[in-house]
Amino acid sequence: MKRYQQGRGRGLAIILFLTFPLVLTWGGTGGSISGTVSDSTGAVIPDAAVTATNIETGVRITAAADSRGVYTFPLLPVGRYEVEITRPGFKPYRRSGISLDSDSAILVQAVLVPGGRTDSVTVSDSAVHAETESSQMGEVITAGQMASVPLNGRSYTDLLALQPGVAPATSLTAVSVEDVGVSALSPSGDLNPGTISINGQREFANAFMVNGSDVEEDVNMGAAIIPNLDSIAEFRILTNNFDAEYGEFSGGQINVITKSGGNRFHGNVFEFLRNTGLDARNYFSPARGVFDQNQFGATLGGPIRKNRAFFFADYQGTRLTEGVDTGQIPVPSVQERAGNLSAMAASFTTTAANGSSTPTTVSGPYWASLLSERLGYTVSAGEPYYFSAGERQVSDPSLTYSAACTTSAQCVLPGLAIRQSAWSAPATHLLEYIPAPNNANGTFSTSAFNETLRDDKGSYRLDANTGWGMLTAYYFLDEFSQDNPYPVAQGGASVPGFSAKNAGRAQLLSLSDLKTLRANAVNEFHASYLRDRTVVGMPEGGVGVSLVSQGFVTPAGTPSIVALSPQTEGVENVVFNNFSLGTNSNELTQANNTYQWLDNFSQAVRNHTFKAGAEFHYDQVNSNPIAQFNGNFLFSGSETGLDFADFLLGIPSQYNQSQLNPFYGRNRYVGVYGQDSWRVRPNLTLDYGARWDRIEPWY
């Protein structure tokens, strides 16, 4: 009992040193194996030699059972293991096929049988384990499970919802606009960044790791890096009741472990093909859009030196050409494009709170004077633009009009005809960029304009069993280029001709050392650097057309709009109620740098497994947003009641032009934690710990 109390005191001493500042500390990349050695009568066998051998690499790690027969491997790399237990006078005990996952705690109880070393007892392990040694909630998705599910895009983030408590989809859509039109930066051009709700927490509250390295995109909080699916050994989602080594994020802790090489060469070559041949035409589209997608690549792993050094390399390329369907867009009819708006008479009304409707009227003397000049007859402030029979009169709402307006003495637009001499100069020039209807119902639709994507990603991993410990180096690179024909989410056009380009490059370099210091004591050091640069919404279509040539000229002949971004000057961005046109108005260039250093120490003392660690974390965000540098017009019908009529007359509801300053954010984290896993009884384990998160404000 006395020795037990001393062990508990040492455990509490490690926990209580948490008076130091702390921040974000990421979990390790392995799991633990522990158990008790006994004989067939249940009596414990002390001082047994225990060896855990990685089946793929042949790397052997040794420990010893204490006086109570308890042994522990506090931290082992993810993989398949064989545990061998020997003691003079007993047959060797072997447990093979133990699958050790990230953050798992496997209990292997060994019963030794008297006998010589020439005999042995071998037990084959089951792939399914009931986690009785860890209180964390979460599941592991293995490489086999990922390979058995057809994935469009081959991204592990599409499998997060396999875990209970994870929302099946995100609330962010293609038209969600945040941070200059970027609601989430998509890795590899079009993959899911994983911004979903876990256990009811915010979609931006999840932690993403690759081999223990922070790969979080620091603005929208999604995954910046998504490895090739064939290079992933497994990933684990911790959804609740995290150990003290995890912090900052209240959602899920998602850690991806990549494959390593082994003593045998292994690899694969693959290609996934989808094309137009088996596709049907969209019911609402006049033609079938092109769809050609190729995803191809290969993996190769093997030994550099048997039982000592190993490598694993992978590559994946994606080529996509997809005709994007616009859907059915209401656009001006042929007669409306000529200025005949009689079919839209119902729009030239305003509805009062009591439900009665009256005609829209000229809003003030400025527009009355301008319209008088253009139309060639007198227009007065407050005069109705048009009225139909039965509408309430503007001058006396208690009365109604007996007939529709037919002369300029009655309203501004008799017969709802706007002759071209009254059109504004920009409307005359911009009308050619509005597509004409091509459907019988007066709408426009097409799938002839393609989204194209080229993405290339690859990684290289080295593992070496040295006198310094198990050294691991990992490098990942992903480059993509994407042409988006309809960059609506960035304030761009929903009609053809105004494409924008997205491009990105993500890199991760991580180094780690897993060192067994003595029996039952392990130290893990980890350092990583993440670089993620993305450009979203770079204008391409419509660029090169001067604003002056579009009629944006003052009466004196000088430009009425000064282009703040001359290199992207083009067709002016104009937004209507049902569609938009013009060059993309919002653009973002963002580069993130994340530097991470951490150290975790684990030691087993009797029936306690102590773990403590510290981390320094430094983040940089360099953001250069462009928002309406060359102007943006909105026509909602606020003057006449019809957006297209306002456009022809040159009466915008809103004009925006701005110049945003770059944002260079810096942030530091420092963290310390301590925890203990106490096996009170063979069927009772108590996990407890403490941490202190110190998070500096961005500066």
SS (H, E, C) 641-674: CCHHHHHHHCCCCEEECCCCCCEEEEEEEEEEEE
What is the residue range of 364's domain?
A: 342-417
**Local confidence band at 153 (pLDDT 50, 70, 90 cut-offs):** confident
Does residue 422 surpass a pLDDT of 70?
yes
Q: What does the alpha-carbon distance between residue 610 and residue 622 come to, in Å, rounded to a whole number?
A: 40
State whether residue 375 is helix, strand or coil: helix
d(CA 332, CA 644) in angstroms, rounded, equals 8
Q: Where are the alpha helices (DSSP H) in 311-424?
A: 334-337, 365-375
Q: Considering only 281-285, 300-304, 342-346, 534-538, which range has the smallest mean pLDDT?
A: 281-285
User: Which of 586, 31, 498 minimizes the C-alpha distance to 255?
Assistant: 31
- Mean per-residue pLDDT for 661-670? 88
Residue 337: which pLDDT band, with cuts at 50, 70 and 90? very high
Give the predicted TM-score (pTM) of the model.
0.80
- pLDDT band with cut points at 50, 70 and 90 for residue 26: very low
d(CA 553, CA 548): 6
- Report residue 2 as tokens: 């006395």
Give the per-residue pLDDT at 122.
59
The alpha carbon of residue 219 and the mean position of all alpha carbons in its chain are separated, in whole angstroms, by: 11
Backbone angles phi, psi at 677, to 5 degrees: -110, 110
- Three-class DSSP labels, 479-538: EEEEEECCCHHHCCCCCCCCCEEEEEEEEEEEEEEEEEEECCEEEEEEEEEEEEEEEEEE
Q: Give domain status of residue 676, yes or no.
A: no
What count of other Cβ atoms lies within 10 Å of the Cβ of residue 82?
A: 17
Residue 624 has pLDDT above 90, yes or no: no
- 398 inside domain: yes
CB burial of 549-558 (b: ≥16 within 10 Å; e: otherwise) equals ebbbbeeeee
Predicted confidence (pLDDT) per residue in 396-421, tens digit: 888 889 999 999 999 999 999 999 88
Q: What is the pLDDT of residue 189?
A: 85
Residue 388 lies in a domain: yes
| DSSP letter (8 states) at residue 282 | P
Q: What is the pLDDT of residues 529-540, one digit of tens each?
A: 999 999 988 899
| 134: in domain | no
DSSP E strand boundaries for 12-117: 30-39, 49-54, 60-64, 70-77, 79-86, 93-100, 105-107, 110-112
Question: Considering its fold, how many domains does the chain have in total?
Answer: 1
The reported pLDDT for the residue numbered 686 is 86
Whether the pLDDT of residue 501 is over 50: the answer is yes
If pLDDT is split at 50, 70 and 90, which confidence band does 250 have? confident
Q: Does 364 map to a domain?
A: yes
Query: What is the pLDDT averaged over residues 464-480?
Result: 92
Give tens-digit pLDDT for 587-621: 888 999 999 999 999 888 888 888 898 888 899 99
Give the pLDDT band of residue 136 (cuts 50, 70, 90).
low
Task: Tokens 């929208």: give the residue.
Answer: 220
Beta-carbon-side half-sphere exposure of residue 463 (alpha carbons within 13 Å): 26
C-alpha closest to that of 29 among 348, 231, 202, 256: 256
Per-residue pLDDT for 3 more than 50? no
At 55 the pLDDT is 85
Question: Using CA atoms, how far apart are residues 163 and 356, in angstroms rounded to an integer?
Answer: 54
Which range among 195-199, 341-345, 464-468, 569-573 shows the weakest confidence by mean pLDDT? 195-199
Strand order in the sheet with 253-258: 137-142, 232-240, 253-258, 207-210, 213-214
User: Does residue 277 lie in a domain region?
Assistant: no
